Amino acid sequence: MQQLVPLRLALIDVSNDFTVVGVGVAHNMIQLPIGLMGISSYLKANLTAQQLDLRIIDAALDAPDYDALLAMLRQYEPQVVGIRALSHTNHQFHELAGRIKRWRSTVLVVGGGPYAAASPDLIIEDTNFDVVCRGEGEQVMLELLQVLLQDPRSRDFALIQGITYRTAPSDSCSGGAIQRNPDRAFFTDLDALPVPDYRAIELHRYSTRHAFTSILRPYGILVTSRGCPFHCVYCHSLFGKRFRGRSPSSVIEEIRYVHREFGLANFMIIDDVFNFDLPRAKEILRGLVSLQLDLRLFFPNGLRGDIIDEEFLDLLVEAGTVELVFAIESATARIQKLIRKKIDLDRVERSLISAAQREMVVNAFFMIGFPTETLEEVDRTVDMAIRLIDHIHFPYVGIVRAYHGSALYQIALDHGYSEKWLLKHALMPYGTQESIRYEYNFLPNDQLQKARTRLALAFRNEARTERLLAIQRRLFTEEELVVKYATCFGSTIRIAELFLQQFPR
């Protein structure tokens, strides 16, 4: 029976519940749900308003708890709910699905995002999920809705590639058999995707909650490519291992449109590896310079540090780059080989110093506590961070987490860690202060704390802080800097405020 009224679809993001400090009052990173915004615009481009009524819900921003979230769903009465999560928010992912099914068992619950791509078989074992999307979600959601528009109770999903699903509603006697359809080919023409749906969210609300760059002002997010050809063992592979870049002209046109329609001049670029095709990246930056829109660019991830040259750094500055991050992870060749990052450490160090000399805010990511890592190897990584501390504005040292579905998870299993131990290990996000003291780390907690403390002492050097603060205060408000320092310290906002008060403007 064909659907006569619009199908109601709720897309819920539970991936924003990312605690970044663990002592005193915690604060969360909340950034635009750009993945769901992309799905929204794709569906609206292919279905009419008479066919689809869509709502995006950001759980961290819109609902303080499950009861509030369920109240929103009761009011909206969706027939389909899509839930997106990262691996570290898998508890919320499963809990929410269960509460939805207990409220209304006939709702079709679809799981997606990096967690679903990494652990589809684990998710579909949870009978509260009807469908798991194992990759990119735009076409999958469209084809699911096209089936449901013909018959809202149908489970005739056999021709939809890239999903694992139950062949009967989960509220039926059997719950249905589990069917794994063939993989779906990745999008090849990213230029054909519409601009993410900024009108589906309340954009102004995000400017009061800090994102990965800790900015407290309106901003947009750019995804100029998908896929990463590198094989780092700790990372997800939602977009596959083949780099697919948008044309520079499509990126420029998106920025022009978003700036005109929404007045945005701050943009985060969150590609897996923006500069993999260096000539393309340079052409994008030249195009941004030509727009003359006084843009401010942030790269919270996605720059491979050993494929950067001087011309690229100059173009970053000309295009308005405020902040960029170098993901170094480990300073030892053995760990680099173990994690399959294999970055050229000498080239990264030269690029980092050169970027800092251009007075951009340069940050660095390090990871300690890998399976088999020794204390000497941890110390060498911290030594590198300290050696570069006059150039690194904010060094972030994460405690390693091996999430289910990652190659690192398998490495841990191969070294004798049990599934039960690893599931407990992965409960704690790697960036939090609690994670240093966590019972389920690969290295003893006192070693992790000692390493963090050595770096913290170097970071707090008075002369260094005064010099770098002079740069930071030209680019960020004092309120933004408080959040940045609290995040880097792993402290409360108040501790960061007291620290910065020692260095008046």
Tokens found for residue 289: 């310079």
Per-residue pLDDT, 430 = 58
Q: What angle do CA 93, 95, 101 make, to 5 degrees?
A: 105
For the chain, list residues with pLDDT below 50.
Answer: 18-26
Task: List the alpha helices (DSSP H) in 138-294.
Answer: 138-150, 248-262, 278-291
196 vs 141: CA distance, rounded Å: 15
Q: Among 3.40.50.1970, 3.40.190.10, 3.30.750.210, 3.20.20.70, name the CATH number for the domain at 211-366+394-430.
A: 3.30.750.210
277 vs 225: CA distance, rounded Å: 10
Per-residue pLDDT, 461 = 94
Which residue type sits at 42?
Answer: Y
The SS3 of residue 79 is coil
Query: Length of the chain in residues, anyone?
Result: 505
Per-residue pLDDT, 436 = 67
C-alpha distances in Å from residue 393, one per residue of 155, 262, 321, 340, 471: 53, 31, 15, 27, 10
Q: Which of 391, 335, 338, 337 is nearest to 366 (CA)?
A: 335
Per-residue pLDDT, 25 = 39
Per-residue pLDDT, 21 = 34
Per-residue pLDDT, 336 = 96
Residues 89-108: tens digit of each pLDDT = 888 999 999 999 999 999 99
* Those residues with Cβ within 8 angstroms of residue 229's Cβ, 6 or more apart along the chain or in another chain: 241, 242, 243, 273, 276
374 vs 36: CA distance, rounded Å: 41
Let me know: does 144 contact 160? Beta carbons within 8 Å. Answer: yes
465 vs 457: CA distance, rounded Å: 12
Let me know: does 221 contact 270? Beta carbons within 8 Å. Answer: yes
The continuous run of DSSP H or E covering 313 comes out as helix 310-319
Q: Which of 491, 495, 496, 500 is nearest to 20 (CA)?
A: 491
| Rama region for 109: left / alpha / beta (φ>0; ψ in -120 to 50; rest) | beta
291 vs 252: CA distance, rounded Å: 8
The domain locations on the chain are 7-180, 211-366+394-430, 472-505
Let me know: does 23 contact 492? Beta carbons within 8 Å. Answer: yes
Per-residue pLDDT, 479 = 94
Q: Which of 120, 130, 131 is nearest to 175 (CA)?
A: 130
The SS3 of residue 269 is strand
Which residue type sits at 83?
Answer: I
Alpha-carbon 47 to chain mean position: 28
Per-residue pLDDT, 19 = 38
Residues 39-78: tens digit of each pLDDT = 999 999 999 999 999 999 999 888 888 999 999 999 999 9
DSSP state of 184: P
7-180: what fold? Rossmann fold (3.40.50)
Q: Which of 431, 495, 481 is nearest to 28 (CA)?
A: 431
Indicate the pTM of the whole model. Answer: 0.94
The SS3 of residue 230 is coil
Tokens found for residue 228: 């990463």
17 vs 95: CA distance, rounded Å: 14
